[in-house]
């Protein structure tokens, strides 16, 4: 059960540096960073450590099984970014 970034993300990129793997993209120095409205978590790389959610100042990141109902669409939006 991966973690999911929602649209409360302000792209401060703090979570990207804190991720235990390389699950969160794009990185701040990635050219794609300027073209997206938020960062995304690759559910195939996330190991559910929770580091990103605990450090997010916007509380934009949730475990997939704790996603608020009005943010449910972001599980698929996160996965889709990596397809
Ligand atoms: S839960 Fe851990 S592994 Fe998954 S995206 Fe967050 S920091 Fe990375």
What is the count of structural domains for the chain? 1
The CATH number given to whatever domain includes residue 14 is: 3.30.70.20
C-alpha to C-alpha distance for 36 and 55, rounded to whole angstroms: 21
Which of ligand 1's atoms lies nearest the C-alpha of 15?
A: 7
C-alpha to C-alpha distance for 1 and 64, rounded to whole angstroms: 6
C-alpha to C-alpha distance for 29 and 65, rounded to whole angstroms: 31
Query: Which regions of the chain does DSSP assign to beta strands (E)?
Result: 3-5, 24-25, 40-41, 61-63
Ligand 1 mutation target, pool 4, 5, 14, 24, most atoms within 8 A of CB:
24
- The stretches in the chain having pLDDT less than 70 are none
Nearest residue (by CA) to ligand 1, atom 6, is: 52
What pLDDT score was predicted for residue 30? 97
What pLDDT score was predicted for residue 1? 83
């Amino acid at each position: 059960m991966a973690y999911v970034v929602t649209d409360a993300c302000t792209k401060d990129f703090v979570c990207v540096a804190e991720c235990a793997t390389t699950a969160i993209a794009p990185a701040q120095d990635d050219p794609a960073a300027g073209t997206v409205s938020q960062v995304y978590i690759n559910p195939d790389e996330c190991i559910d450590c929770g580091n990103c959610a605990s450090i997010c100042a916007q509380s934009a990141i949730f475990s997939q099984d704790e996603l608020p109902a009005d943010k449910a669409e972001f599980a698929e939006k996160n996965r889709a970014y990596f397809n």
